[in-house]
Structure 1
Amino acid sequence: MTDRAATRTAERARAYWDSRHREHVGLTSGGHIGLDHAGNEIFYAQRLGTLLTLIGDLSSPRAPLFVLDAGCGKGHFARALARCGHRVDAFDVSAEAVTHARADGGGPRYAVASLADWRSPWPYDVVLCVDVLFHVLDDTEWSAGLRNLASLVRLTGRLIVTDEDIGERRPRGDYIVHRPTAAYRAELEPLGLRHTLFEPYDFRENEVGFHVFTRTR
């Protein structure tokens, strides 16, 4: 893909998410668009419960965990993690979503950025990217975003991303492409991140789950 074509693709994606966050209220805008509000409340609660098991629901005020929520949407997970005492940075490509997140407050520091463009003066204990990467259709953009997130993880820290645990590429609809676990490993293992866990959502028919990569070097 040429730089111009990549720019057009990124602009279309940004416009799609701005429109979706503007037109759908509450959790539906960043959740499962096929579920009503009550269904999405259950979906968010189940994923959050698993996240808190993976990350921890308590943080020492003297030594808080530094957490990055990449592709935070309207900030639901970011706010929940901040309430646990973690120090949370969060960003999203959609300015519409970030405006909503800032209005809700709750402690995280929000910014507008793409996965590949976010920069930080410090590394993170946990970098989190929930239900974002399988919406990135272009493989070059996907790789650049994933590798940038990996660069932000401190030694012994964790990168937690979500996708299906499959052996072959699986496109679904216009805005989803699930990639095989081997593709994630191929990108991340040379960077010093080892795949240590897959924890499925176990929510209705959804086959997505949390892939945990731990930095070992």
Structure 2
Amino acid sequence: MSNSASSLGIDQSIAFWNERHRRLEHGYAGGDIAYDDTANAMLNSLRVGRLIDLIGTFARPAAPVRILDAGCGTGWLTRTLASFGHQVDGIDTSEQALATCVGRARADGRDRYRLSRLDEWTPGYLYDVVISVDVLFHIMEDHIWAASVRNLGMLVRSRGRLILADHDLVADRQWGDYQVSRARQRYLDLLTSDGFVHRGFVAYAFRNNGAGFHVFDRTS
């Protein structure tokens, strides 16, 4: 897919989101701009419920589920998952958003935050679950999107789970200068060779939002 001339490059995208987080200081700067704060709060609650089903409901203090929230924004999901007993790393490219994360971090230290692009995060360990919510379709440059998907996949342990938010399409669709959804097959082409099996698509099913979670399990 070739991106239009008006598409944001990676550096422009980072600057765009940093400024958006600066202007919108509340927790929904990374939310759907078609919704008000109340609707975004409802959407986030619904997504947490979907993710609980996908991650599982068991967490042990001595052996917590290790999770990556890739593109954590202001950390609403990172903190929520940490409150369930999981050990969660949140990464984002926005210094403004991460400042909010650090200011709201849980006292028990189960949520941790770092500045990083999705394609460049190398923590030195693997995760039980890697999640990326409404981030990949904001990466306009195809080679960086592909590198991000592959890198997130490589961070999942054997028999771990990869959950990537996008639309479930048969062909790519560009929505504007800062959003493009990739076809399901493109995710399959990138991940199947790394031992992933696509378990299905779980739609948000909220109002007019057509996005949802592509769920992959690493079988090797």
**TM-score (norm. length: structure 1):** 0.94
Q: How does 1:147-186 map to 2 (within 5 A)?
A: 147-186=150-189
Task: Give the partner amino acid of 2:73.
Answer: G
Residue 188 (str. 1) matches residue 191 (str. 2): yes
From 110, 135, 138, give the equivalent of 2:138: 135
Q: Residues 21 and 29 of structure 1 are in contact (CA less than 8 Å); yes or no, is this contact kept in structure 2? A: yes
SS at match of 1:116: helix
Q: Residues 128 and 160 of structure 1 are in contact (CA less than 8 Å); yes or no, is this contact kept in structure 2? A: yes
Q: Residues 10 and 139 of structure 2 are in contact (CA less than 8 Å); yes or no, is this contact kept in structure 1? A: no
Residue 38 (str. 1) matches residue 38 (str. 2): yes
Equivalent position of 1:86 in the other structure: 86
> How many Å apart are 1:35 and its aligned residue?
1.1
Q: How does 1:104-143 map to 2 (within 5 A)?
A: 104-106=104-106, 107-143=110-146
> How many Å apart are 1:57 and its aligned residue?
3.7
Q: Residues 139 and 179 of structure 2 are in contact (CA less than 8 Å); yes or no, is this contact kept in structure 1? A: yes
Q: Which structure is richer in relative contact order (CA contacts within 8 A, separation 6 or more)?
A: 2
SS at match of 1:28: coil
Equivalent position of 2:4 in the other structure: none
> How many Å apart are 1:157 and its aligned residue?
0.1
> How many Å apart are 1:168 and its aligned residue?
0.7
CA–CA separation in structure 2 for the residues paired with 1:51 and 1:16: 28
Q: Residues 27 and 40 of structure 1 are in contact (CA less than 8 Å); yes or no, is this contact kept in structure 2? A: no
Residue 76 (str. 1) matches residue 76 (str. 2): yes
Deviations 1:105-126 (A, max 9, x none): 1231100000111011211000
CA–CA separation in structure 2 for the residues paired with 1:210 and 1:47: 9
Deviation beyond 2 Å, 4+ runs, structure 1: none
Residue 24 (str. 1) matches residue 24 (str. 2): yes
> How many Å apart are 1:164 and its aligned residue?
0.8
CA–CA separation in structure 1 for the residues paired with 2:158 and 2:122: 17
Aligned CA-pair RMSD: 1.1
Deviations 1:21-69 (A, max 9, x none): 1111323201111211111111111111111111124401122111000
Q: Residues 116 and 149 of structure 1 are in contact (CA less than 8 Å); yes or no, is this contact kept in structure 2? A: yes
SS at match of 1:159: strand
Equivalent position of 1:99 in the other structure: 99
Task: Give the partner amino acid of 1:110.
Answer: Y
Q: Residues 67 and 129 of structure 2 are in contact (CA less than 8 Å); yes or no, is this contact kept in structure 1? A: yes
SS at match of 2:102: helix
Deviations 1:149-192 (A, max 9, x none): 11100000011001111101111011110111000000000111
From 142, 145, 148, give the equivalent of 1:145: 148
Q: Which runs of 5+ in 2 are unaligned?
A: 1-7
**TM-score (norm. length: structure 2):** 0.93
Bigger shift: 22-31 or 184-193?
22-31
Would you tell me which structure has more helix in proportion to its own residues? 1
